[in-house]
Amino acid sequence: MANITILDQSTINKIAAGEVIERPAAVVKELIENAIDAGANAITTEIKEGGISFIRVTDNGSGILKADIPIAFLRHSTSKIKTVEDLLSVSSLGFRGEALSSIAAVSQLELVTKTPGEINGVRYIIEGGEEKSIEEIGCPEGTTFIIRNIFYNTPARRKFLKSTVTEAGYISDLIERLAVSHPNVSFKFIVNNQIKLHTSGNNNLKDIIYNVYGRELSANIIEANGKSDHIVMSGFIGKPIISRGNRNYMNYYINGRYIKSGIINKAIEEAYKPYTMTHRYPFTALHFEIDSELIDINVHPTKMEIRFKNGEEIYSIVYHTIKDALAGKELIPEVVLVK
Ligand code: ADP
Ligand code: MG
């Protein structure tokens, strides 16, 4: 008997799935990004037991054609790019075509979807990567995904999940960031039948910050807008007084995508230096529009890291815009009287 064998397809899929889907929050991220890419302007996410037993994401986007459904669950199937050249100008959040196949490989998945052009919708069930049924049903336009029992067939991964409270916390943080990154989309988040967050989606960033972070924080933010050759920057920064001991409130978005960047962190922190003690980090909710040819987002499967072809330009616009916004401002905190 040979010692070297080729893994069967189901094993290959489960291993690949692990790279994209680490925990329930990763499922929620992929499903919400797909909903945004499908043009939805209202997205409801519901979870039970930290998303481990139940995740439901409902959108009012384009829906998926019946004939496209089985294809959407194949690995490397995407409607968003056709060739490697398209990667340079990708404007959608997804493009790798790995999410649905990965989620389906490690969970029990139910999909209900309807496009505006079709009379009936479709319900599709796939478990552990195996198609169980596809049938026509009546349903509203848009798409609902229900993910049950993530990692039910990969116990080794399930063991690495944290408590339901911690997993729910990751999902909550994620939805807050997504809500701020897409102020034109109304987000609802329901945990164990209780509404935890509901943003208006009225495209007014200050209102969304109020929805997400509350009255106290939104009373202590300053507008920070700037522009350079290839970059438009807009959004809000916190008065130094509301700085924190970690970078959790230091969020920014490039072309609608939440990312992390050492260059941007450094520029923000340098601009705040005269106003904050060391190891205090400000609140930021900043949007950058950058020509997509000047960035490379194809760095990691979770697409959180970005490479800039114009690092100096981004550093300079962030540093100077924040410095100017803070200079000469009344930085005394606004005390909010709770009614
Ligand atoms: P990607 O987002 O990288 O294209 P996915 O595996 O996440 O890959 O999704 C595969 C395809 O399924 C998408 O390209 C899209 O055509 C379709 N799709 C997934 N979710 C939705 C949705 N909520 N509404 C409409 N189409 C969807
Ligand atoms: Mg996707």
With residue 237 as reference, give the H or E element that holds it: strand 231-238
Task: Report d(CA 311, CA 308) in Å as an integer.
Answer: 5
Which residue minimizes the CA distance to atom 19 of ligand 1? 34
- 13 Cα to the center of ligand 2, angstroms: 16
| Cβ of residue 97 lying under 6 Å from some atom of ligand 1 | yes
The radius of gyration of the chain from alpha carbons, rounded to an integer in Å, stands at 21
Residue 304: band (very low, low, confident or very high) from pLDDT cuts 50, 70, 90: confident
The residue length of the chain stands at: 339
Choice from 13, 79, 106 to test ligand 1 binding pocket (greatest atom count within 8 A of CB): 79
27 Cα–ligand 2 center, Å: 10
Q: Nearest C-alpha to atom 16 of ligand 1 is from which residue?
A: 79
User: What CA–CA distance (Å, rounded) separates 327 from 221?
Assistant: 14
As its CATH architecture, domain 220-326 has: 2-Layer Sandwich (3.30)
Mean pLDDT value of segment 239-244: 93
- For residues 175-193, give the mean pLDDT: 97
Which pLDDT does position 78 carry in this prediction?
Answer: 83
Decide whether any atom of ligand 1 lies within 6 Å of the 20 Cβ. Answer: no
C-alpha 188/C-alpha 179 separation (Å) is 9
**Average of per-residue pLDDT across 294-320:** 83
Determine whether the shortest distance from the Cβ of 59 to ligand 1 is under 6 A: yes
Asked if residue 287 lies in contact with residue 253, where contact means CB atoms within 8 angstroms, the answer is: yes
Q: Is residue 18 within 8 Å of 164, Cβ to Cβ?
A: no
- pLDDT per residue as tens digits for the range 88-116: 667 778 777 889 999 999 999 999 999 99
Report d(CA 182, CA 173) in Å as an integer: 14
Q: What is the average per-residue pLDDT within 249-278?
A: 93
This model of the complex carries an ipTM of: 0.99
For residue 229, the one-letter residue type is D
Closest CA to 114 of 143, 77, 71: 143
How much is the pLDDT for 48? 98
From the alpha carbon of 61, which atom of ligand 1 is closest? 24
Separation between Cα atoms, residue 153 and residue 248, nearest integer Å: 33
**CB count in 10 Å sphere of residue 256:** 18
Topology agreement, domain 9-198 and domain 220-326: no
More confident site: 83 or 241 = 241
**Paired sense of beta strands 42-48 and 186-191, if any:** parallel
Q: Which fold has domain 9-198?
A: Heat Shock Protein 90 (3.30.565)
Pocket of ligand 1 contains residue 129 by CB under 6 Å: no
Find the range with the poorest average confidence among 11-25, 41-55, 57-71, 242-256. Answer: 11-25
Query: 299 pLDDT exceeds 60?
Result: no
CA distance 247 to 266: 12
With cut-offs at 50, 70 and 90, classify the pLDDT of residue 229.
Answer: very high
93 lines ligand 1 (CB under 6 A): no
Spatial CB neighbours of 93, under 8 Å, sequence gap ≥ 6: 33, 34, 36, 37, 256, 257, 303
Nearest atom within ligand 1 for CA of residue 96: 3
Which pLDDT score, from 0 to 100, does residue 335 have?
A: 64
Extents of the domains making up the chain: 9-198, 220-326
Sign of the torsion angle spanned by Cα atoms 77, 108, 194, 161: negative
What is the per-residue pLDDT for 337?
61
* Two tokens, residue 5: 């064998």
34 lines ligand 1 (CB under 6 A): yes
Quickly tell me which residue has 């943003």 as its tokens: 199
Q: Give the pLDDT score at 181.
A: 96
Q: What is the pLDDT of residue 307?
A: 83
Per-chain mean pLDDT for the chain: 91
At residue 332 the predicted structure's pLDDT band, cuts being 50, 70 and 90, is low
Contacting residues for 152 by C-beta, under 8 A, at least 6 apart: 106, 107, 108, 128, 158
78 CA to centre of ligand 1 in angstroms: 6
Residue 327 has a pLDDT of 92
The side-by-side arrangement of strands in the sheet containing 130-137 is 130-137, 121-127, 108-114, 142-148, 54-59, 42-48, 186-191, 194-198
What tokens does 222 get? Answer: 């300053």
pLDDT for 298: 64
C-beta of 233 in contact with ligand 1 (< 6 A): no
Does the beta carbon of 96 sit less than 6 angstroms from any atom of ligand 1?
yes
Whether 142 lines ligand 1, by a CB cut-off of 6 Å, is: no
Which residue's CA lies nearest to atom 23 of ligand 1?
A: 35
Q: Which residue has the higher pLDDT, 181 or 17?
A: 181
